[in-house]
Amino acid sequence: MTNSITLREHWERIHETKPSDKVSWTQNDPQPSLDWILDLKLDPKDMIVDCGGGRSVLAERLVDAGQLQVEVFDISIRSLAQAKLELKSEEARQNISYRVCNVLDYKPEKAVCVWHDRAVFHFLTEKKDFETYIELVEKMAPEHVIIGTFNGESPEICSGLPVKHYQTEALATLFSDTYECVKSLETVHRTPAGKEQDFSFVHLKLRKP
């Protein structure tokens, strides 16, 4: 990040300049995240947190599927304000909570069952930052962690910021002291401009003591 603007300001500008369906990461059908979370057959009251969820439709799809406690947090207030405006149902308005927060400062307000992160962890390119993220997740100890990052031929820069690429095994290894990898997938995301981005997804399950 340049000294002249903060990370938060950077993301506010990104969210200001592009509509939700034109950002490179947009998904009409938020897969594999949605199916992976629904496959867990959660209790409707289990807490699901979407880290850096921004304007993703994942939270609303989860509520449509019967989940009653979904939190979306993001460093950008603009992304969350827009996400709220785009909600289609009253159930979603009632069951999704929003919080403006940098992931590195995140503190859960209640026990978290599922931590989901698509395309946020990979922006933490400094060792101290991705280690802080891993410590934070391990301390919070959600039973399930689902993370998707760039991989393979994806760009080295996304939204003007450098990005780290992970193969699924390397991603799982970072959390392996406390989590075992129970599912992984290498997949391709097609951007609205028709470009392909390689993604790695892992589903990590908390190890029993």
Ligand X SMILES: C[S@@+](CC[C@H](N)C(=O)[O-])C[C@H]1O[C@@H](n2cnc3c(N)ncnc32)[C@H](O)[C@@H]1O
- Tokens encoding 169: 């095994």
Quick one: which of 59, 103, 114, 204 contacts ligand X (CB under 6 A)? Answer: 103
Rounded CA gap, 116 and 77, in Å? 19
Number of residues in contact with ligand X under rule CB under 6 A: 16
Rounded CA gap, 108 and 136, in Å? 10
For residues 29 and 180, which CB has a smaller minimum distance to ligand X in the complex?
Answer: 29
- Amino acid identity of residue 10, one-letter, is H
Say whether residue 142 binds ligand X (CB under 6 A). no
Say whether residue 98 binds ligand X (CB under 6 A). no
Quick one: which of 79, 151, 154, 168 contacts ligand X (CB under 6 A)? Answer: 79
Say whether residue 56 binds ligand X (CB under 6 A). yes
Rounded CA gap, 26 and 22, in Å? 7
Say whether residue 154 binds ligand X (CB under 6 A). no
Q: Give the position of tokens 């921004």.
A: 54
Quick one: which of 32, 37, 47, 52 contacts ligand X (CB under 6 A)? Answer: 52
Q: How far is the CB of 45 from ligand X (least distance, A)?
A: 23
Binding string, 15-34, against ligand X, x = CB under 6 A? Answer: ----------x---------
Q: Choose the stretch contacting ligand X; rule: CB under 6 A; options: 34-42, 50-58, 59-67, 187-195.
A: 50-58
CB atoms within 10 A of CB 134: 17
Rounded CA gap, 148 and 53, in Å? 12
Which helix (H) or strand (E) segment holds residue 129: the answer is: helix 127-140
Rounded CA gap, 140 and 148, in Å? 19
Please name every residue paired with 96 in a beta bridge, in sequence order, or none if there are none. 70
Q: Choose the stretch contacting ligand X; rule: CB under 6 A; options: 52-60, 91-99, 139-147, 166-174.
A: 52-60
Chain contacts with ligand X (rule: CB under 6 A): 11, 25, 52-54, 56, 74-76, 79, 102-103, 118-120, 123
